[in-house]
Amino acid sequence: MIMKISNKIALVEDNLDDAELTKLALESQNICNKLLYFNSGGEAIKYFTNLESENMDLPFLVLLDLKMPLIGGYDVLFMLKNKMETKDIPVVIITSSLENEDMIKCKQYGASGFLQKPVSGKSLLDVIQELGLTTYLTN
Protein backbone atom coordinates (compact mmCIF):
# COMPACT_ATOMS: atom_id res chain seq x y z
CA MET A 1 0.00 0.00 0.00
CA ILE A 2 1.31 3.44 -0.93
CA MET A 3 0.92 5.99 1.84
CA LYS A 4 0.28 9.64 1.02
CA ILE A 5 2.33 12.40 2.65
CA SER A 6 0.03 15.06 4.09
CA ASN A 7 0.72 18.59 5.28
CA LYS A 8 0.33 17.47 8.91
CA ILE A 9 3.02 17.72 11.56
CA ALA A 10 3.26 15.02 14.21
CA LEU A 11 4.22 16.17 17.70
CA VAL A 12 5.23 13.49 20.22
CA GLU A 13 5.56 15.19 23.61
CA ASP A 14 4.57 13.92 27.05
CA ASN A 15 4.69 17.34 28.74
CA LEU A 16 1.52 19.29 27.97
CA ASP A 17 3.18 22.65 28.67
CA ASP A 18 6.03 21.89 26.25
CA ALA A 19 3.50 20.73 23.65
CA GLU A 20 1.59 23.99 24.00
CA LEU A 21 4.81 26.01 23.72
CA THR A 22 5.71 24.13 20.53
CA LYS A 23 2.25 24.82 19.12
CA LEU A 24 2.62 28.53 19.98
CA ALA A 25 6.07 28.56 18.35
CA LEU A 26 4.54 27.24 15.12
CA GLU A 27 1.73 29.79 15.27
CA SER A 28 4.23 32.61 15.89
CA GLN A 29 5.63 31.87 12.43
CA ASN A 30 2.13 31.67 10.89
CA ILE A 31 2.51 27.91 10.47
CA CYS A 32 -1.06 26.64 10.67
CA ASN A 33 -0.58 23.00 9.70
CA LYS A 34 -2.76 20.48 11.47
CA LEU A 35 -0.93 18.87 14.40
CA LEU A 36 -1.17 15.17 15.11
CA TYR A 37 -0.49 15.24 18.85
CA PHE A 38 0.67 12.18 20.77
CA ASN A 39 1.26 12.54 24.51
CA SER A 40 3.42 9.43 24.79
CA GLY A 41 5.81 7.31 22.79
CA GLY A 42 3.38 4.41 23.04
CA GLU A 43 0.58 6.47 21.51
CA ALA A 44 2.81 7.47 18.58
CA ILE A 45 3.98 3.91 17.97
CA LYS A 46 0.37 2.69 18.02
CA TYR A 47 -0.62 5.32 15.42
CA PHE A 48 2.29 4.65 13.08
CA THR A 49 1.94 0.88 13.43
CA ASN A 50 -1.73 1.03 12.35
CA LEU A 51 -1.25 3.29 9.34
CA GLU A 52 -1.98 0.58 6.78
CA SER A 53 -5.12 -0.72 8.42
CA GLU A 54 -6.53 2.74 9.08
CA ASN A 55 -5.51 4.19 5.68
CA MET A 56 -4.16 7.35 7.34
CA ASP A 57 -2.01 10.07 5.82
CA LEU A 58 1.60 10.39 6.86
CA PRO A 59 2.84 13.62 8.43
CA PHE A 60 5.57 15.44 6.51
CA LEU A 61 7.50 16.03 9.75
CA VAL A 62 7.74 14.47 13.20
CA LEU A 63 8.75 16.60 16.19
CA LEU A 64 9.83 14.09 18.83
CA ASP A 65 10.56 14.59 22.51
CA LEU A 66 13.55 12.48 23.47
CA LYS A 67 13.00 11.91 27.19
CA MET A 68 9.61 10.31 27.86
CA PRO A 69 8.65 7.65 30.40
CA LEU A 70 8.11 4.01 29.40
CA ILE A 71 8.50 4.26 25.61
CA GLY A 72 10.94 7.08 24.95
CA GLY A 73 12.01 9.06 21.94
CA TYR A 74 14.75 6.60 21.00
CA ASP A 75 12.18 3.80 20.71
CA VAL A 76 9.85 5.90 18.56
CA LEU A 77 12.73 7.12 16.36
CA PHE A 78 14.03 3.57 15.90
CA MET A 79 10.56 2.31 14.92
CA LEU A 80 9.94 5.19 12.49
CA LYS A 81 13.28 4.75 10.74
CA ASN A 82 12.92 0.97 10.47
CA LYS A 83 9.41 0.93 9.04
CA MET A 84 9.10 1.05 5.26
CA GLU A 85 6.19 3.54 5.29
CA THR A 86 7.81 6.03 7.68
CA LYS A 87 11.56 5.72 7.18
CA ASP A 88 11.76 8.79 4.91
CA ILE A 89 9.80 11.16 7.18
CA PRO A 90 12.17 13.70 8.75
CA VAL A 91 12.26 13.41 12.54
CA VAL A 92 13.45 16.41 14.54
CA ILE A 93 14.34 15.72 18.16
CA ILE A 94 13.14 18.27 20.71
CA THR A 95 14.93 18.04 24.02
CA SER A 96 15.86 20.07 27.06
CA SER A 97 19.47 18.95 26.87
CA LEU A 98 21.72 18.71 23.88
CA GLU A 99 24.14 16.18 25.35
CA ASN A 100 26.62 14.97 22.79
CA GLU A 101 25.84 11.29 23.48
CA ASP A 102 22.13 11.85 22.82
CA MET A 103 22.85 13.70 19.59
CA ILE A 104 25.22 10.99 18.33
CA LYS A 105 22.76 8.20 19.14
CA CYS A 106 19.85 10.05 17.52
CA LYS A 107 21.90 10.74 14.38
CA GLN A 108 22.80 7.03 14.24
CA TYR A 109 19.10 6.18 14.50
CA GLY A 110 18.29 8.60 11.66
CA ALA A 111 17.23 11.89 13.27
CA SER A 112 17.16 14.82 10.85
CA GLY A 113 17.81 17.57 13.39
CA PHE A 114 17.63 18.81 16.94
CA LEU A 115 15.82 21.65 18.69
CA GLN A 116 16.39 22.69 22.27
CA LYS A 117 13.41 23.31 24.55
CA PRO A 118 11.70 25.64 24.84
CA VAL A 119 11.34 25.60 21.07
CA SER A 120 11.28 29.01 19.42
CA GLY A 121 9.28 29.80 16.31
CA LYS A 122 12.38 30.93 14.46
CA SER A 123 14.32 27.74 15.22
CA LEU A 124 11.35 25.63 14.08
CA LEU A 125 11.04 27.56 10.83
CA ASP A 126 14.80 27.37 10.32
CA VAL A 127 14.85 23.57 10.63
CA ILE A 128 11.83 23.22 8.32
CA GLN A 129 13.65 25.36 5.74
CA GLU A 130 16.94 23.45 6.20
CA LEU A 131 15.09 20.18 5.55
CA GLY A 132 13.49 21.61 2.40
CA LEU A 133 9.95 21.18 3.72
CA THR A 134 8.52 24.67 3.23
CA THR A 135 6.22 23.49 0.40
CA TYR A 136 4.21 21.60 3.04
CA LEU A 137 3.55 24.68 5.20
CA THR A 138 0.08 26.17 5.41
CA ASN A 139 -0.56 29.71 6.62
pLDDT of residue 52: 67
How many domains is the chain built from?
1
Q: Does a structural domain hold residue 70?
A: yes
pLDDT of residue 41: 95
Q: Does a structural domain hold residue 135?
A: no
Residue 73: burial class (beta carbons within 10 Å; 0-12, 13-18, 19+): buried
Q: State the SS3 of the chain.
A: CCCCECCCEEEECCCHHHHHHHHHHHHHCCCCCCEEEECCHHHHHHHHHCHHHHCCCECCEEEEECCCCCCCHHHHHHHHHCCCCCCCCCEEEEECCCCHHHHHHHHHHCCCEEEECCCCHHHHHHHHHHCCCHHHCCC
pLDDT of residue 54: 60
pLDDT of residue 85: 87
Q: Does a structural domain hold residue 68?
A: yes
- What CATH number does the domain containing 14 carry? 3.40.50.2300
Q: Does a structural domain hold residue 136?
A: no
pLDDT of residue 49: 87
For 81, the domain range is 9-126
Q: Does a structural domain hold residue 139?
A: no
pLDDT in tens, 24-54: 999 999 999 999 999 999 999 999 988 766 6
Q: Does a structural domain hold residue 4?
A: no
pLDDT of residue 3: 65
Q: Does a structural domain hold residue 81?
A: yes
Q: How far apart are CA 22 and CA 52, in angstroms?
A: 28
pLDDT of residue 139: 78
Q: Does a structural domain hold residue 28?
A: yes
Q: Residue ranges of the chain with pLDDT lower than 50?
A: none
- The letter for the amino acid at 56 is M
Cα first-last separation, the chain:
30
